[in-house]
Amino acid sequence: MLDVQHLQTYYGESHILHDVSLHVKKGSVSVLLGRNGMGKTTTLHSIMGIVPPKTGSVVLNGKEMQALPSYQVSKAGIGLVPQGRRIFPNLSVKENLLTTSRPVRDGWDMKKIFDMFPRLKERETSMGGTLSGGEQQMLSIGRALMTNPDLLLLDEPSEGLSPLMVSEVIKIIKQLKEDGLSMLLVEQNLAMASDLADHVYILNKGTVVFDGASEEFDIEVRDKYLSLSS
Ligand SMILES: Nc1ncnc2c1ncn2[C@@H]1O[C@H](COP(=O)(O)OP(=O)(O)O)[C@@H](O)[C@H]1O
Ligand SMILES: [Mg+2]
């Protein structure tokens, strides 16, 4: 479904991604882990065309994305739930959802979003900026779903949320997976990552240092690549 090969991405002169390759199989969740500043967001932005890679390829369902502007990548079927939610504070919940609406038959629409997130229905007319962190995360996920993506990229959806809200987000991701959505999840929350992942990648300084099925993602791997001292 998603096939990312040999990405080399720069910000000006600084070389951030070094030959990053990763995959998401249809209907599965791949998780991308790594400490702060290792290039996780840059990887998602390279896939979306927000920060176009210098070389490398991004192929979604056989179609090349790497030369497309981000609105076309979105149109081709990749949705992004950005780090920090990025909802519009001065638009209502409903208006936030309408900004990305791309109706398809039997797909996501306002009603389905409100069925999935009853709390958003209750706050339909509230301004985005007045929502709690958890509500904003629901809205951010809802807004990405309104584009009716084939593949959803989520950038640290648990960041800054209470444990209770984190388990809500886990539930949502599981439900989306059951519905057949493919996802690439960036996380720093290891418990959440191992709960959801079919496949795990670890980024270190812009390089993929671990690439394995979730069963291979054991204590040894965690200690080796993710411990704070390394
Ligand atoms: N807009 C930018 N301009 C220059 N450097 C950036 C920019 N965004 C991120 N970086 C640098 O790229 C590296 C990777 O950042 P990022 O992809 O945000 O990491 P992560 O999401 O894993 O925390 C970091 O060293 C960061 O300082
Ligand atoms: Mg990031």
Residues 65-90: what's their mean pLDDT? 96
Task: For ligand 1, pick from 38, 185, 226 the residue to mutate: most ligand atoms within 8 Å of CB.
Answer: 38
pLDDT in tens, 145-173: 999 999 999 999 999 999 999 999 999 99
DSSP β-ladder status, 199-204 and 207-213? antiparallel
Provide, for the chain, the percentages of residues in helix, strand and coil under a 3-state DSSP scheme, each rounded to the nearest 5: 35, 30, 35
Q: What is the C-alpha separation between 17 and 204, in angstroms, rounded?
A: 10
Specify the pLDDT at position 163.
95
Confidence (pLDDT) at 227:
77
User: Helix (H, G, I), strand (E, B), or coil: what is residue 11?
Assistant: strand
Share of the chain above pLDDT 90, in %: 93
Residue with token string 């959801």: 196
- Is the CB of residue 120 less than 8 Å from the CB of residue 114? yes
pLDDT at 230: 44
CATH assignment at residue 57: 3.40.50.300
Domain carrying residue 100: 2-226
How many structural domains is the chain composed of? 1
Could you give the dihedral angle defined by the CA atoms of residues 77, 79, 163 and 175, in that order, rounded to the nearest 10 degrees? Answer: -20
Distance between CA 34 and CA 7 in Å, rounded?
17
Is the Cβ atom of 39 under 6 angstroms away from ligand 1?
A: yes
pLDDT at residue 97 tops 80: yes
pLDDT at 228 over 90: no
Residue of 26, 22, 4 whose CA lies nearest to 182: 26
**What is the pLDDT at residue 22?**
98
In angstroms, rounded to a whole number, what is the distance separating the alpha carbons of residues 60 and 195? 25
Q: Which pLDDT value is given to residue 73?
A: 97
> What pLDDT, on a 0 to 100 scale, did the predictor assign at position 226?
86
How high does pLDDT run on average in the chain? 95
Nearest ligand, measured from the Cα of 34: 1
How far away, in angstroms, is 199 Cα from ligand 2 center?
19
Give residue-wise pLDDT tens across range 3-23. Answer: 999 999 999 999 999 999 999
Q: How far apart are CA 112 and CA 80, in angstroms?
A: 19
17 CB near ligand 1 (under 6 Å): no
Mean pLDDT for the stretch of residues 190-203: 95
If one compares 97 and 221, the residue with the highest pLDDT of the two is 97
Do residues 20 and 39 make contact, with C-beta atoms less than 8 angstroms apart?
Answer: yes
